[in-house]
Amino acid sequence: GQNIDQPTEMTATEGAIVQINCTYQTSGFNGLFWYQQHAGEAPTFLSYNVLDGLEEKGRFSSFLSRSKGYSYLLLKELQMKDSASYLCAVMDSNYQLIWGAGTKLIIKP
Amino acid sequence: GAVVSQHPSWVICKSGTSVKIECRSLDFQATTMFWYRQFPKQSLMLMATSNEGSKATYEQGVEKDKFLINHASLTLSTLTVTSAHPEDSSFYICSARDVTSESNEQFFGPGTRLTVL
């Protein structure tokens, strides 16, 4: 079956760095997405990886290893507004997104 | 970037009534739109995939006669919750894929919060 695994919850300190991991097993692969979702709001796009390696975008970076079925989202210089759920999703061979359950990130002062 | 709108943002209705939610891609054509449901503190659950000009594909466990989907144009898909009951209260989110984009990104609407009394 298809499966996306990510930690349920993480806590970090304002100004620090946090890495959220995601492992996946899917039927086919057409890219991996990271989305941010604040409570009561729809997800917003953060990053897309389809090739191995690191994609950097400001304070956020995303890494992919297709051979290991592994990705991580790296958040630097954490701010209180980064408190949210972070969703990992993989697009399978049918171009359908398979979603992880999300990682709730709590930022403490 | 691509924008997807949803209407209404929130709706409260009586049990037994029907509610229609619209999802529009504002600056791109979306041959495929997706409807999700999200209960509190849970992840997104795909309900159905809406294809322009053809019948929607429903996920297992989703009643197609209860959740009617129409995708009549390349920029509009509608979800109608028929005979809504309190257990249908949820956050409904649509997304659309820009087929011309190389990123395969899905753009999300802002969501519709449905409360059935």
User: Which chain A residues contact residue B44 at CB under 8 A?
Assistant: 43, 87, 99
The stretch B26-54 carries a mean pLDDT of 88
Is A74 near chain B, with CB under 8 Å?
Answer: no
- Model confidence over B68-111: pLDDT tens digits? 999 888 899 999 999 999 999 999 999 998 777 766 778 899 99
The chain A residue lying nearest B91, using CA atoms, is A40
Q: Is B108 in contact with A43 (Cβ distance < 8 A)?
A: yes
Query: What pLDDT is attached to residue A74?
Result: 98
- Model confidence over A45-74: pLDDT tens digits? 899 999 999 999 999 999 999 999 999 999
Query: What pLDDT is attached to residue B103?
Result: 66
What's the mean pLDDT when you consider all of chain A? 94
**Encoding tokens for residue B49?**
């995939």
Query: What pLDDT is attached to residue B59?
Result: 92
A47-61, A74-88, B12-26, B33-47, range with the lowest pLDDT: B33-47
- Please determine, for residue A76, whether its predicted confidence score (pLDDT) is greater than 70: yes
The chain B residue lying nearest A49, using CA atoms, is B103
**Encoding tokens for residue A64?**
């992919």
- Please determine, for residue B23, whether its predicted confidence score (pLDDT) is greater than 70: yes
Residues A44, A41: Cα–Cα separation, whole Å: 9
> Which percentage of chain A shows pLDDT scores above 90?
79
